[in-house]
Structure 1
Amino acid sequence: MGAVHLKVSDLERSTSYYTEVLGLSVLNRYAGLVRLTADGVHPLILLEQIPGALALPPGRHSGLYHFALLVPSRRDLGNALRHLIGRQVRLGSSDHGVSEALYLSDPDGIGIEIYRDRDRSEWTYLPGGQVFMRTDPLDAAGLLREAEVREWEGLPVGTRIGHVHLHVGDLNRAEAFYSRLLGFRIMLRYGPSALFAGAGGYHHHLGLNVWAGEGAPATPDRATGLKYFTIVNPDPDHIEWLLEEFAARSIPVDARGDGWYFKDPFGIGIRLTTCGIL
């Protein structure tokens, strides 16, 4: 997964939040965008201010549920938890078995997860080969014991976009698009309300749920939230096949110098690229 492009109502307020609270740094400012990074090279988040932005109640439209920043280690997650508690940030948390996670929202109500993965040898698999994920209380005290007693220096080098979790209007259509067309493997069916899909055996690069309601309408373009998320696919042959399939299915694609832009069946923006640096 590559960078996520977010639409915000106040660029300076959001930039301050993502740098001072979340712990990213500004990579550059160009063409009205602020690009944020953890390593000084790879953009993770792009911020764009939308004039007259609409602030919609959460959980009523297809679109972003949350995006997730994956940190390299449990100690890194403990450091983040210690910092966020010190900033008196309102948090949610969970132990998913495959990972430990913190949940928070930015000033526009955009959902954010910060998490660390357990080693794959610790994952539990169901009889059919699906990954077992649970929602248990987080061992926050254990995380804080892992934290380093030093001044917060921000999210560490190695932090990346781990996954995006989306509200969609129909799980069958979502599975047809993301799994049968784009090629992600379904890693877990969470009852009738959610799917988790990944590549390379990962527990999930995509979460897909109907918690906003079956047939949830697309998020309006003028609303704050996700403009697009990025899928990095280094296989040019697979991309060529996908583009042929898009043409055959009359899915509009905007080819630009940094990738191919299109939308899923629910109006959610996607950028497909062979390189995650741009």
Structure 2
Amino acid sequence: MSQSIHADTVLGQLKLKVRDLQRSIRFYKEIIGFRVLREEAGIAHMTVNGKSTFLILEEVQDAAPVARRSTTGLYHFAILVPTREQLGLSLRKLAESGVQVGQGDHLVSEALYLSDPDHNGIEIYRDRPRSEWKKDAEGNYIMGTDPVDIKGLLELAGNKPWTGLSPETILGHIHLHVSELSASKTFYCDILGFDVVADVSKKMGAYFISAGGYHHHIGMNIWAGVGAPQPPANSTGLAFYTIVLPTEGELERILAQLGTSGIPFAQEADYWRVNDPSGIEIRLTIAA
């Protein structure tokens, strides 16, 4: 049995490729609530706290269009807001902006779903207290898709001013289209050390995995089809996402596991780069 990844492991910044940078900046700033930390040639760094990068947007001119659920890569990235009131404020802002929004009460959380101008999936959610999360007899977290209490969220928001995303907002989880579940589970769980917290592979073609008993840091599904191809290099979509490890020792342990498993990885300026079995780029870093 593999060693579980450190309980304090979290997700860090991610990068999206977009067709029109200024259009995407307006969307993520004026509708989602990010701020621009800095902008350079064809690239914008978006922040919630004014100090660190949460999201990188890179313009890809004449980007190849990719049909939904046709390739590996991003299903959605999930913005975790710190309070239910914050979720209500986001809901009100989305409604005022005329954005089409889906929703789901997952018992462990309440979530809103939408897409950016390039059809990158986004979830905005808030967690219920861990004391309210329940598991079934097999140890899987029980997660549903009940209707969200929209009225209650809007009542919480009331007439309070919307000032964008709270500085305490984080990347709560990421959900990926993968080409094959078994190989992905081996990579993420047996090699990196994430724990399976919801096995719905037979019912839904998906696994949900996490560090430290969270309801999930990573979701992986085969909803784009078994054997789904990687997207073209010049397409819009996910460029990479980051796994942040709490100690250098934990990073060294994972690099050793990758090496033993024959999985190539490379050191860059301040991170280590590796691709999962579906070709999705992951950056491994140590918490500041």
Instruction: Report the TM-score when normalising by structure 2.
Output: 0.93
Aligned twin of 2:32: 22
Report the residue type matching 2:165 in the other structure: L
What is the CA–CA distance in structure 2 between the aligned matches of 1:272 and 1:51, rounded to whole Å? 28
Aligned twin of 1:223: 235
What is the CA–CA distance in structure 2 between the aligned matches of 1:78 and 1:207, rounded to whole Å? 25
**SS of the residue 2:100 aligns to:** coil
Aligned twin of 1:210: 222
Map 1:162-177 to 2 at 5 A: 162-177=172-187
What is the CA–CA distance in structure 2 between the aligned matches of 1:231 and 1:58, rounded to whole Å? 25
What is the CA–CA distance in structure 2 between the aligned matches of 1:191 and 1:197, rounded to whole Å? 12
What is the CA–CA distance in structure 2 between the aligned matches of 1:121 and 1:244, rounded to whole Å? 35
What is the CA–CA distance in structure 1 between the aligned matches of 2:30 and 2:261, rounded to whole Å? 44
Aligned twin of 2:4: none
**SS of the residue 1:13 aligns to:** helix
Report the residue type matching 1:67 in the other structure: F
What is the CA–CA distance in structure 2 between the aligned matches of 1:156 and 1:22, rounded to whole Å? 11
**SS of the residue 1:6 aligns to:** strand
Q: Deviations over 1:227-258 (max 9, x none)?
A: 00110001212211222232333423231122
Q: Deviations over 1:112-132 (max 9, x none)?
A: 000000000111111222211
What is the CA–CA distance in structure 2 between the aligned matches of 1:263 and 1:30, rounded to whole Å? 27
Aligned twin of 2:257: 245
Listed as ranges, the gaps of 5+ residues in structure 2 are 1-10
2:66 to 56, 75, 98: 56
The offset of 1:31, in angstroms, is: 5.4
Q: Deviations over 1:149-195 (max 9, x none)?
A: 13321111101100000001111111100011111100001242000
Aligned twin of 2:115: 105
Q: Does 1:89 align with 2:111?
A: no
RMSD: 1.2
Q: Which moved more, 1:23-32 or 1:58-67?
A: 23-32
Check the 8 A contact 1:75/1:148 in 2, yes or no: no
What is the CA–CA distance in structure 1 between the aligned matches of 2:43 and 2:66, rounded to whole Å? 22
**SS of the residue 2:216 aligns to:** coil
Report the residue type matching 2:217 in the other structure: H
Check the 8 A contact 1:77/1:143 in 2, yes or no: yes
Report the residue type matching 2:107 in the other structure: G
What is the CA–CA distance in structure 1 between the aligned matches of 2:261 and 2:127, rounded to whole Å? 37
**SS of the residue 1:124 aligns to:** coil
Q: Deviations over 1:53-84 (max 9, x none)?
A: 11110101111100000000000000100111
Check the 8 A contact 2:21/2:42 in 1, yes or no: no
**SS of the residue 1:78 aligns to:** helix
Q: Which moved more, 1:35-44 or 1:243-252?
A: 243-252
2:161 to 146, 151, 168: 151
The offset of 1:5, in angstroms, is: 0.5
Aligned twin of 2:285: 273
Aligned twin of 2:132: 122
Aligned twin of 2:274: 262
Runs of 4+ deviating beyond 3 Å: none
Aligned twin of 1:33: 43
Report the residue type matching 2:287 in the other structure: C
Check the 8 A contact 2:197/2:215 in 1, yes or no: yes
What is the CA–CA distance in structure 1 between the aligned matches of 2:162 and 2:252, rounded to whole Å? 44
The offset of 1:106, in angstroms, is: 0.3
What is the CA–CA distance in structure 1 between the aligned matches of 2:160 and 2:89, rounded to whole Å? 9
Instruction: Report the TM-score when normalising by structure 1.
Output: 0.96
What is the CA–CA distance in structure 1 between the aligned matches of 2:67 and 2:218, rounded to whole Å? 23
**SS of the residue 1:164 aligns to:** strand
1:136 to 124, 131, 146: 146
What is the CA–CA distance in structure 2 between the aligned matches of 1:33 and 1:275, rounded to whole Å? 24
Q: How many residues align?
A: 276
Matched-pair identity in %: 46
